Amino acid sequence: MALKPGDLAPDFSLPDMEGNMVRLSDFRSKWVVLYFYPRDNTPGCTKEACGFRDAYPDYQSQDIVVLGVSTDDAKSHAKFAHKFNLPFPLLSDADGSVATAYESYGLKKFMGKEYMGITRNTFVIDPDGKIAKTYLKVKPEHHATALLADMASLTS
């Protein structure tokens, strides 16, 4: 059962890189970009995060909230955010339960090895808390700017 536009986005409460609890329901009445990424400080994840960082003023000007989620802990997130000047919250989903609720956690294969991890998926959540658009297995380059372009049609 894949999450699809119109479905209620699964609510969650996760700690950010400073230990503050962030709840999806706190952002009702705003558009939210919720992106799941595998690991802090890896090449693809850094490209994706820096893409959101570089486009962040445009997201802010449209009052769009950006939230990044991985299974890394708050300390790792804090270092990653500081190193790359990331202006948005990175949330720690230590047990992968939120990623699982968003169908973004499961068995992965890399260089012949199998392991459990996060799939690079993004969900746009509307002000009513419903999924407006999904991006599955995204490519990190240009994702933030392409998504921002799509937001114009979603928010009008």
**Model pTM score:** 0.94
109 Cβ neighbours under 8 A, 6+ residues apart: none
Determine the 3-state secondary structure of 53 from DSSP.
Answer: helix
Q: Which residues are catalytic?
A: 45
119, two tokens: 């799939």
CB under 8 A, 24+ apart: contacts of 74-77:
74/15, 74/16, 74/17, 74/18, 74/19, 76/40, 76/41, 77/16, 77/17, 77/40
73, two tokens: 């802990």
- Read off the amino acid at residue 140: P
State residue 61's pLDDT score.
93
Determine the topology of domain 15-22+29-129 in CATH: Glutaredoxin (3.40.30)
| Band of residue 153 on the pLDDT scale cut at 50, 70, 90 | confident
State residue 106's pLDDT score.
81
Domain ranges of the chain: 15-22+29-129
State residue 116's pLDDT score.
77
